């Protein structure tokens, strides 16, 4: 329609257009910019923009990663690297950009809580473990890029009330950033087979 300014300008717009809608074909782009399909192809070559199908595949693949990641991430926050059931457990959690406040880059409290809580659940050797009560302290801000190492230690047991008491503390570079006590409910007492 409207005459394109320069090649540069067209290519700038091309990047923009494809970025926010990777599903567009060269034909549509050619029509959009009032140039030939070949010109669009040349532009893509120069800009190293892959063809439609590759772009779609990329989006799909990214989705797939997420899907695979999302499940364990949802299951247990942080990666458990050592565990001795009903005794202690250790997990690490790499803080990423998506876990922090944009404003100040400090991790949202609930992610640290989630890691601790997940670990408290995991350390209990029981089909059913629920958090009943918990007191936590956020000692020091955690930033994106930090690797949080969290340790849960089973402190006590009350088989009559079906309770397990767990202490958790998280560190970054050996400095405590978070600590908490968790009172957990379980269906079976320690040592009971059924």
Partner DNA sequence: CTGGTATTAGTACCAAGTTCTAATACTAAA
Partner DNA sequence: TTTAGTATTAGAACTTGGTACTAATACCAG
Binding site residues, its own copies, CB under 8 A: 22-23, 53, 56-57, 59-64, 66, 74, 77, 98, 101, 103-104, 106, 108-110, 113-114, 117-118, 121, 127-128, 130-138, 141
Q: Which span (31-39, 88-96, 133-141, 175-183) binds DNA, by CB under 7 A? A: 31-39
Q: Per rule CB under 7 A, is residue 18 in the interface with DNA?
A: no
Which pair of tokens denotes residue 97? 């950009």
Distance CA 167, CA 163 (A): 13
Q: Per rule CB under 7 A, is residue 52 in the interface with DNA?
A: yes
Distance CA 108, CA 118 (A): 16
Where b means 16+ CB within 10 Å and e means fewer, 168-185 reads bbbbbeeeebbbbbbbbb
Instruction: Calculate the CA 102 to chain-centre distance.
Output: 15
Which residue, 133 or 161, is less far from its own copies as judged by CB? Answer: 133
Selection from DNA, its own copies, none that 50 binds (CB < 5 to 8 A by kind) is DNA
Which residue, 38 or 130, is less far from its own copies as judged by CB? Answer: 130
Q: Per rule CB under 7 A, is residue 10 in the interface with DNA?
A: yes
């Amino acid at each position: 329609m409207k005459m394109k300014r320069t090649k540069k300008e067209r290519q700038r717009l091309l990047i923009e257009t494809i970025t926010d809608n990777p599903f567009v074909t060269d034909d549509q782009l050619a029509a959009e910019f009032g140039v030939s399909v070949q010109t669009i192809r040349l532009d893509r070559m120069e800009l190293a923009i892959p063809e439609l199908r590759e772009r779609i595949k990329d989006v799909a693949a990214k989705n797939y990663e997420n899907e695979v990641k999302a499940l364990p991430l949802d299951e247990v926050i942080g990666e458990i690297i050592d565990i001795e059931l009903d005794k202690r457990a250790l997990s690490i959690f790499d803080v990423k950009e998506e876990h922090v406040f944009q404003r100040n880059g400090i991790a949202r409290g609930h992610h640290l809580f989630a890691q601790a809580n997940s670990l408290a659940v995991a350390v209990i050797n029981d089909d059913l473990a629920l958090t009943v009560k918990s007191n936590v302290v956020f000692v020091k801000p955690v930033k994106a890029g930090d690797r949080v190492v969290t340790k849960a230690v089973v402190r006590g047991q009350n088989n009559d009330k079906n309770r397990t008491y767990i202490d958790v503390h998280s560190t970054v570079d050996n400095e405590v950033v978070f600590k908490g006590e968790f009172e957990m409910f379980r269906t079976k007492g320690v040592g009971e087979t059924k």
